[in-house]
Amino acid sequence: MSDAQHILVVDDDDRIRTLLKKYLTRSGYRVTASASAGGARKLMTTFDFDLAVLDIMMPGESGLDFLSSLRQAGKRVPILLLTARGETSDRIEGLKRGADDYLAKPFEPEELLLRLEAILRRTHVEPPPEEVEMSGLVFNAKRGELTSGARRVRLTEAELQLLSMLASKAGEPVSREELASKSPNSTERSIDVQVTRLRRKIEPDPRQPVHIQTVRGIGYRLMPD
C-alpha cells in the first residue's frame, strides 16, 4: 500500500467521508479524510496528495474558497468537486477556479471512482528515467553523460541536448519541429544532421538504427534496450 496513490476526502458529512474512505481503500487507494477546509489545509502541510475530493457546501470556509486558496498558492493537486444536484452555477464557478471535474450529490461511488481515475490518468506524469541503456551504452540525463563501461563517450552540446530531449520521452515520437524549437540555433534540417552523428556514436549499425528510430512524417523516437 506504500505505493498506492493518496486521496484526500474533504466533506463535513460523516457518512460520505466514511463511505468514500471504505470504497476508495478497497479500490487500492490510500485515503485521508477531513471534515473541514481548515483540517484539510493542515493535512496538506504534512502529506502530498495525488487528488482531493472536495465538497463545495461546508460550514465556515466553503469548498470553492478553499479551492481558490489552493490555486492562488500554486498547489496543483487535482480536485474533484462534489456539488449539490442542479447547482449549475457552482459547477461552472468551480471549473473557473481550477477544479478538474465535478460530481453532483447524491452519487454512485462507482461513478466517483471512474471520474477520479480519469483525472489521475490525465494529470499523473511519470518522471523520465534517470538512465537509459542502449546496446551497452548508458545515458545519464541528469549528469549529461553517455558512457560505455568506464569510458565516457564524447558528445557535442547539440548532441547532448538532442539526446536529452529524446530520452525524456523515451518510446514516444518527438517531432523535428519540437526538437528544433528546444535546441538553440537549430533547424529541422540540422536536427537530421545531429541525429546522423548521434547514430554513429550509439547504434551498433548506424545504417540500420534500432535506438534512434525515424518516425515517418513526424520525427524521431528513442528506443532503449
Q: Between 1.20.1250.20, 1.10.10.10, 3.20.20.10, 1.20.58.1610, what CATH number should domain 131-222 receive?
A: 1.10.10.10
203: which residues sit within 8 A by CB, 6+ positions away? 135, 209, 210, 211, 212
Question: Do the beta carbons of residue 143 and residue 126 sit within 8 Å?
Answer: no
Report angle CA 20, 21, 27 to the nearest 5 degrees: 85
pLDDT band at 1 (very low <50, low <70, confident <90, very high): very low
Outline which parts of the chain fall under CATH 3.40.50.2300. Answer: 6-123
Kindly list the strands in the beta sheet with 174-175, ordered across the sheet, starting from the edge strand earlier in the chain: 174-175, 219-222, 212-215
pLDDT band at 3 (very low <50, low <70, confident <90, very high): confident
As to burial, measured by CB atoms within 10 angstroms (0-12 exposed, 13-18 middle, 19+ buried), residue 34 is buried
pTM of structure: 0.59
Least confident range from 15-19, 157-161, 210-214: namely 157-161
Outline which parts of the chain fall under CATH 1.10.10.10. Answer: 131-222
137-186 per-position pLDDT tens digit: 999 988 999 999 999 999 999 999 999 999 998 999 999 999 998 877 78
Which class is domain 6-123? alpha beta
